[in-house]
Amino acid sequence: MSQHIKICGLQSTTFKEAMEKTQEVTDRFVDHLAGVKVVDLPRPNSVLGPVLSASNRIFTAKDECPTEQDNEFAEGLDPVGTLAKMKTQNLIHAPENMVNINVFEAAKSGNAVPGLFKVGDLVELQVSFVAIHVSREVKITYKVCVQEALAARREFASQPKKEPAVRRKIGYFYADEEEPSRIAKRHDGE
């Protein structure tokens, strides 16, 4: 089981540069592991351009990290206790499994729940690249692990600003600027 985030840059140049950096990391893996077959990172695409897919496991086996302590789940990660029931004696929620999700906006800043992201939010991710031995052959793959996620300026997507309705007068033969003087004349009895 894992926490998974997919991000599309909506064809922005900043996101394109970030995707080029991930390709740079891939190339360094291949250069560093000369003689080893490196399975390339899957690069899904959408109508709006390339997509970065990042995830992180929720549990780690105790024998993989015997010195780590079991941690509580982040707020909102396990609202009804399903993950807690799935956790067995040999699985722990280690620090490397924790994903810090934060929000930065005018009304509220700080820790947030995983379900706060919506399509169109401006998001910043901190990721790490992890090499994984795949099979008995000399074969390695790697994945992008999400460590931190920050939703910045969510109001663009989740709270669109409503403009006040424009009132138009119909049937008047004078300009808007003349209206206060005409109202005053009407009340004065002229």
The answer to the question of residue 89 being in a domain is: yes
The answer to the question of residue 172 being in a domain is: no
Amino acid at 52: L
Report how far residue 76's alpha carbon sits from residue 112's, in angstroms, rounded to the nearest whole number.
Answer: 8
The answer to the question of residue 101 being in a domain is: yes
The answer to the question of residue 168 being in a domain is: no
Assigned token pair, 172: 């008047």
pTM of the model: 0.53
The answer to the question of residue 14 being in a domain is: yes
Domain with 132, as residue range(s), is: 2-163
The answer to the question of residue 52 being in a domain is: yes
pLDDT tens, N- to C-terminus, the chain (190 residues): 677 777 777 777 888 888 888 888 878 877 877 777 766 666 666 666 777 777 778 888 888 888 888 888 877 777 788 888 877 778 888 877 777 777 766 566 667 666 666 666 667 777 777 776 666 666 666 677 776 677 665 554 444 455 566 665 555 555 555 555 655 665 555 5
Question: In Å, how far are 5, 77, 79, 139 from 93, measured between CA atoms?
Answer: 19, 12, 16, 28
If one counts the domains in the chain, the total is 1
